[in-house]
């Protein structure tokens, strides 16, 4: 009796696949979750991903244009001060 049953697996093989990149660099071949483009392991699971309005995702402002320009200006001032100290130490010798 165990040998007469023919399994219908065509729907399983024709279902959309995940396609996420694996560690090997190949694409994931697991079936995508219904209504999603990824499998359950690559973000298709319920409530996966960051929450809406995530307060933890706020940026700190360290890389804004103003902050970068300020750090560049401080570096220039410090470089000038080191050059001046070098010249003064040579004069004092």
Supply 23's token pair: 């560690």
43 three-class SS: coil
pLDDT tens column, 23-50 = 999 999 999 988 888 998 888 888 777 6
11 three-class SS: helix
Has residue 18 been placed in a domain?
yes
What's the Rg (C-alpha) of the chain? 30
Residues 42 and 66 in one domain: no
Has residue 3 been placed in a domain?
no
Has residue 56 been placed in a domain?
no
Residues 67 and 42 in one domain: no
pLDDT tens column, 64-84 = 899 999 999 999 999 999 999
Answering whether pTM is above 0.75, one says no
Supply 48's token pair: 């996966």
Supply 34's token pair: 């219904």
Our count of domains for the chain comes to: 2
Structural domain for 71, as ranges = 62-93
Residues 42 and 70 in one domain: no
């Amino acid at each position: 009796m165990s040998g007469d049953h023919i399994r219908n697996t065509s729907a399983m093989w024709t279902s959309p696949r995940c396609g996420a990149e694996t560690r090997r660099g190949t694409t994931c071949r697991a079936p995508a979750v219904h209504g999603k483009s990824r499998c359950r392991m690559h973000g298709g699971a319920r409530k996966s991903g960051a929450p809406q309005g995530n307060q933890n995702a706020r940026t700190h402002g360290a890389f804004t244009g103003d902050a970068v320009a300020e750090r560049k200006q401080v570096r220039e001032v410090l470089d000038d001060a080191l050059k001046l100290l070098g010249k003064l130490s040579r004069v004092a010798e």
